[in-house]
Amino acid sequence: MDLELSSEDQAFRDEVRDFLDAELTAEIRDTTRRTTAVWVDKPIVMEWHRKLYEKGWIGYFWPEEFGGTGWNATQQYIFLTESARAGAPPLIPMSLRYVGPVIFTFGDDWQKEYFLPKILSGEHYWCQGYSEPGAGSDLAALKCKAERDGDDYIINGTKIWTTNAHVADWIFCLVRTDNTGKKQQGITFIVIDMNTPGITVEPIITMDLDHDVNQVFFDNVRVPVKNRVGEEGAGWGYGKFLLEFERAGGSCARLKADLAHLKMIAAAQHRADKPLIEDAAFATEIAKVEIGITGLEITERQILSKAAAGEPPGSEGSILNAQAVQYNQRMTELAVEAMDHYALPFIPGRPFPGANEWYPGPDYAPPVMGQYLNRRATSIYGGSDEVQREIISKMLIGR
Ligand SMILES: Cc1cc2nc3c(=O)[nH]c(=O)nc-3n(C[C@H](O)[C@H](O)[C@H](O)COP(=O)(O)OP(=O)(O)OC[C@H]3O[C@@H](n4cnc5c(N)ncnc54)[C@H](O)[C@@H]3O)c2cc1C
């Protein structure tokens, strides 16, 4: 794998930089940096999504025949790296990275024609309905039921931890259509309009006092059979295919941008009259993270090469995910340490102030504690750390 950029690649990088300079507004950049949740709020992130769509760059890893850019692995890498470096918000993956590839790989013609253009344009904002109470790591234990009634399925049950369900237009779900056989059998992949009667969304407030996740209830929800993707009962295979994309989503570009931000904080904060970054113990901790991220980048570029060759990410996605999560969490810990008392939640009644509220200390202080608390969940969602390590162990030593 050649890590040097050719002159064509350098020209492409300059084109990406020019676009980012021209289109990435201060409001989008500042909101992204101050957001404590993983995903920036819908109005801001979709404003960026639409700018990329208008430029023709939103399907950055999709095949050209479905409206993607058809970029090779290096171009994708450049695009992701430059976007993160410039402070662009991460694109919402539920549509572009998760359900999109399932539909263009396993969907029928109607589904491809109807959904794919709306995913690219941003008209449809999606959420992911996999987990249930009692079916998280053991996802195949899921019980949410879909019973056939003529040309419809009737859905009953619940999904939990559903990120952004409260603002989503569509949800893709794994549902049970058959209870006989092994638990991985009888699972079906179906997409559901969130405005369908019988769906209710209840918020779950997390410890950073944010509302990102929800519980979704389905009470006799009628869904047309044409919304089923692929074969009835074959959903486990499609669901696993999708999870490979989910686990491969931890872009090193963003880790590198976070590292640069952490270094900026450590250079600006002082201990005993010298910048914290000159403190040997603190600098060592930053160096450990930097070495890890540099190594991880090679794995990510292998995954991007596979994607550009039309292959799914494979189990390398779990390696990327497990390691990226570790560095991501560590950097938020170091940021709290660096901010010292400015990271303390102390405004009465509003322990973790929002982006535009007054806050003592430097302007990079307010999101630090919220980001630290929010990132505790990164080793749970998309498959917990323990489960990722089991996958890696099976891949490397066969058990
Ligand atoms: C912030 C957040 C956002 C999320 N967003 C979504 C979403 O949008 N859509 C969605 O469908 N789901 C979402 N999830 C759910 C997430 O995928 C599950 O929480 C995750 O799969 C773990 O399942 P669980 O919570 O049921 O925990 P459990 O599976 O009950 O696990 C509990 C503990 O047991 C450990 N454990 C379980 N099985 C094993 C094993 N075989 N070996 C070793 N240890 C094991 C786990 O590692 C964990 O520490 C989200 C979760 C969070 C926290």
Of 319, 296, 151, 134, which Cα lies nearest the Cα of 227? 151
Residue 353 has pLDDT above 70, yes or no: no
What residue numbers bound the domain in which 153 lies? Answer: 126-242
Helix residue ranges, H only, 125-279? 235-247, 252-268
Q: Which of 208, 225, 242 is the last residue of a domain?
A: 242
Q: How far apart, in whole angstroms, are the C-alpha atoms of residue 68 and residue 17? A: 20
Ligand 1 centroid vs 266 CA: distance in angstroms?
Answer: 33
Residue scoring higher pLDDT (182 or 360): 182
Cβ–ligand 1 contact at 355 (below 6 Å): no
Which tens digit of pLDDT belongs to each residue from 213-224? 999 999 999 999
Residue scoring higher pLDDT (345 or 382): 382
Report residue 73 as tokens: 């692995």
Ligand 1 pocket test target in 161, 329, 387 with most atoms within 8 Å of CB: 161
Ligand 1 centroid vs 321 CA: distance in angstroms?
Answer: 14
Strand partners, 188: 175
* Position 358 confidence tier, pLDDT thresholds 50, 70, 90: low
Report residue 318 as tokens: 């779990």
Cβ–ligand 1 contact at 172 (below 6 Å): no
- In CATH, what number is assigned to the domain containing residue 271? 1.20.140.10
Determine the atom of ligand 1 nearest the C-alpha atom of 139: 21
Cβ–ligand 1 contact at 76 (below 6 Å): no
Which tens digit of pLDDT belongs to each residue from 111-141? 999 999 999 999 999 999 999 999 999 999 9
- SS3 string of 334-386? HHHHHHHHHHCCCCCCCCCCCCCCCCCCCCCCCHHHHHHHHHHHHHCCCCCHH
Determine the atom of ligand 1 nearest the C-alpha atom of 385: 47
Ligand 1 centroid vs 137 CA: distance in angstroms?
Answer: 5
Residues 6+ apart with CB under 8 A from 260: 85
**What pTM value is reported for the model?**
0.92
β-strands 126-129, 187-193 pairing: unpaired
**Model pLDDT, residue 349:** 43
Ligand 1 centroid vs 175 CA: distance in angstroms?
Answer: 18
**Model pLDDT, residue 313:** 67
Q: Which of 180, 214, 242 is the last residue of a domain?
A: 242
Which tens digit of pLDDT belongs to each residue from 83-96? 999 999 999 999 99
Q: Whose CA is nearest to atom 2 of ligand 1?
A: 381
Residues 354, 216 share a domain:
no
Residue 309, SS3 per DSSP: coil
Residue 379 falls within a domain, yes or no? yes
Q: Which of 242, 258, 279 is the last residue of a domain?
A: 242
Geometric angle at alpha carbon 221, from 190 and 96, rounded to 5°: 35
Which tens digit of pLDDT belongs to each residue from 49-64? 999 999 999 999 899 9
Rg of the chain over Cα atoms, rounded to whole angstroms, equals 22
